[in-house]
Structure 1
Amino acid sequence: MLTLSELWIYPVKSLGGISISQSEVEERGLRYDRRWMIVDESGVFVTQRSVHSMALIDVAFSEGGFSLTHRSHSEKSLFLPFQPVSKKVVQVRVWDDELPALSVSDELDSGLSEWFGRSVRLVLMPESSQRLVDPRYAKHNETVSFADGYPVLLIGQSSLDTLNAKLEEPVSMKRFRPNLVITGSEPFAEDSWTNVRIGTAEFLVVKPCARCVLTTVDPLTGETGSEPLKTLATFRKQGNKILFGQNLLPLPGQLAVGDTLRFS
């Protein structure tokens, strides 16, 4: 039996994730997943690829929104409301996509800028902003949040177990920032799936996830090294890409940890 063993959302792109027990599945992914993003003064997205210390900022549900806590600045937390306070429209860029977003609050921007040591802003993707999935893989002009490219990422636990058996020091699943973790499957069985159903939600498996240096950032310390990317490259490289996990396009529904996965 294949089972959904972990369910994760990452409300703010490249900050800490939240382990949840159930979720609504929307066209852009799991509810609240990567609907917010930190940008620099030019409106360009900022991630752990260049700012490793973003791994130290934890996100948790709070009444009316989320609390952000920096493990190196634990004297205060910042509040991120579900609904933006300022609602100022700003143009932002994530990879090659440019789109309008909403500034959340001056107070939040000030606190984050203090943590980052430079001026940054936190923005929300409104429902009116349309960021399209790569047309080479989209089926019906699907949209995506501020995620790198696709609404949902799935990884089998046995795939990570196989990788860890090759590493001197095992890594946690947090390195790969999945939304869905599946137990009970053979290693890399997800590579062969084309359709997945969990709970009342259905997903199309559209392409493998090409991994980058972000996987080398330790989510506990913010420090970086060569693993696990170096070892992954020895047995999961195709062309110039290192593949681990599968990108999914969702159909709306609901799912919960413990739900059975069915595939075709």
Structure 2
Amino acid sequence: MSLRCDADRLVEVIEQYFIQSEQQEIETKTLSDDNTIKIVGLYVYPVKSCRGMPVQTWTLTHQGLLFDRQWMIMEGSRVLTQKQEPLMAQIETSIDLTSTKLVLTFPSLEPLQVSLDVQDSQQDLLEKELCSGKICGEKIEGLDCGSEAGEWLEQALGRYNLRLVRGLKRFSARKNGGSNSLANDSELLTLNVASIQSLEAKIKENAERFGEDNLDLDLDSLTLRFRGNMIVQGPSEFEEETWNKLTLEKDCTSKKLESNDAQKDCASEKDDSISFNIVGPCKRCTMISIEQNSGELSKEPLRSLATFRDRNFNFGVHTKVLSTGKGTISVGDILTTE
């Protein structure tokens, strides 16, 4: 009887740990074999550290998405971020291309509108003080957008000596000497939905382990916290850290290339391809603990991110624009990897 029980137990162990593991390995392999990478979200953050705006199609430049992180809020000579003022998450931003205005909104305040045209403001350069500060240790210069914008920000955030500044030049060796982008380390930040889902599962696991209430950290809210520009659906979690280059090309496979003109059109489209270089992983700080819809602080997702083995708080990848193609990128575009 004892031998029969032992045999039954051995069968259970084999089924649980070997047959199931083999099935999981097959599922993982199936995902890895699919190299299709689809853009499922695009976000522009006009004002550094304020709330971003989702877009379906947008202009791509060598400095990233058009108007992304072109303005900053300064407190004296310091660049203000959500780490010092979480309420900045409550300032909504939008770009009105029809009226050529940057529009800022905040609860209980009338919207603030600022011209997108730098030339409109540069006529006053001699009368206004150029602002200077530092981002990641690099010197930046910008143009003060005026007292009305400063007073609006002071009312919204309850702080003094605030100014809205348009970036004019950033002195950076990494950017070949100069840029007006105020992004920390690269033109774009790319997030993989599969990685976000993996972190979401870890957060739920930890919440159950510690007997905590539902933290309402779903896929959408986590995506907002990590403040990515390009959200892609990759084959598997954290695979984005292994990519070297992403390319977006027009699909010529469905065309009939019987004529020389058709062949030339296809070759021209390939010449106009959009390409990105994956620079490296993005190391995260306490800013991801700020709920973007409320400005409130929480222990997640930083706590769960710390439990991933060998992650070193990395999440998302810095992305450099290599070529802009015809100048637009859209949700639904398909990328290939190298």
**TM-score when normalising by structure 1:** 0.89
- Structure 1 residue 236 displacement after superposition: 5.5
- Measured in 2, the distance between the counterparts of 1:32 and 1:261 equals 23
Indicate conservation of the 8 Å contact 2:138/2:170, yes or no. no
Q: Which amino acid aligns with 2:134?
A: R
Helix, strand or coil at the partner of 2:275: strand
Which of 93, 108, 128 is the aligned partner of 2:134?
A: 93
Residues 1:2 and 2:37 are matched in the alignment: yes
Indicate conservation of the 8 Å contact 1:29/1:144, yes or no. no
Residues 1:122 and 2:122 are matched in the alignment: no
- Structure 1 residue 51 displacement after superposition: 0.3
The match for 2:20 is none
The match for 1:188 is 238
The match for 1:256 is 330
- Structure 1 residue 125 displacement after superposition: 1.4
Query: Which structure: larger Rg?
Result: 2
Q: Which amino acid aligns with 1:247?
A: H
> What's the C-alpha RMSD, in Å, of the aligned pairs?
1.9
- Measured in 2, the distance between the counterparts of 1:120 and 1:175 equals 24
- Measured in 2, the distance between the counterparts of 1:179 and 1:82 equals 20
- Structure 1 residue 100 displacement after superposition: 1.7
**TM-score when normalising by structure 2:** 0.70
Residues 1:242 and 2:313 are matched in the alignment: yes
The match for 1:166 is 202
Q: Which amino acid aligns with 1:31?
A: L
User: In the superposition, relative to structure 1, how do residues 104 and 236 fare at CA in structure 2: closer, same or farther (>3 Å)?
Assistant: farther
Greater share of helix residues, 1 or 2? 2
- Structure 1 residue 66 displacement after superposition: 1.8
- Measured in 2, the distance between the counterparts of 1:52 and 1:5 equals 27
Residues 1:67 and 2:67 are matched in the alignment: no
- Measured in 2, the distance between the counterparts of 1:236 and 1:7 equals 29
Greater share of strand residues, 1 or 2? 1
Q: Which amino acid aligns with 2:289?
A: T
Q: Deviations over 1:212-257 (max 9, x none)?
A: 111000011110011101100110554xx41000001112413111
- Measured in 1, the distance between the counterparts of 2:173 and 2:187 equals 8
User: In the superposition, relative to structure 1, how do residues 13 and 163 fare at CA in structure 2: closer, same or farther (>3 Å)?
Assistant: same
Which range is displaced more, 81-90 or 222-231? 81-90
User: In the superposition, relative to structure 1, how do residues 109 and 145 fare at CA in structure 2: closer, same or farther (>3 Å)?
Assistant: same
User: In the superposition, relative to structure 1, how do residues 4 and 144 fare at CA in structure 2: closer, same or farther (>3 Å)?
Assistant: farther
1:101-250 counterparts in 2 under 5 A? 101-117=142-158, 118-126=160-168, 129-132=169-172, 134=174, 143=179, 145-168=181-204, 169=215, 170-171=217-218, 172=221, 173-198=223-248, 200-235=273-308, 237-238=310-311, 241-250=312-321
Query: Where does structure 1 differ by over 6 angstroms across 4 or more consecutive aligned residues?
Result: none
Which structure 2 residue ranges, 5 or more long, are not aligned? 1-35, 205-214, 250-272
Indicate conservation of the 8 Å contact 1:24/1:252, yes or no. no
Calculate percent identity across the aligned residue pairs.
Answer: 28
Q: Which amino acid aligns with 2:110?
A: K
Indicate conservation of the 8 Å contact 1:236/1:242, yes or no. no
- Measured in 1, the distance between the counterparts of 2:309 and 2:241 equals 11
- Measured in 2, the distance between the counterparts of 1:207 and 1:236 equals 18
Q: Which amino acid aligns with 1:255?
A: I
Helix, strand or coil at the partner of 1:220: coil
Helix, strand or coil at the partner of 1:147: coil
Indicate conservation of the 8 Å contact 2:234/2:240, yes or no. no
Q: Which amino acid aligns with 1:153?
A: L
User: In the superposition, relative to structure 1, how do residues 50 and 236 fare at CA in structure 2: closer, same or farther (>3 Å)?
Assistant: farther
The match for 2:252 is none
- Measured in 1, the distance between the counterparts of 2:95 and 2:86 equals 23
Indicate conservation of the 8 Å contact 1:58/1:70, yes or no. yes
User: In the superposition, relative to structure 1, how do residues 217 and 46 fare at CA in structure 2: closer, same or farther (>3 Å)?
Assistant: same
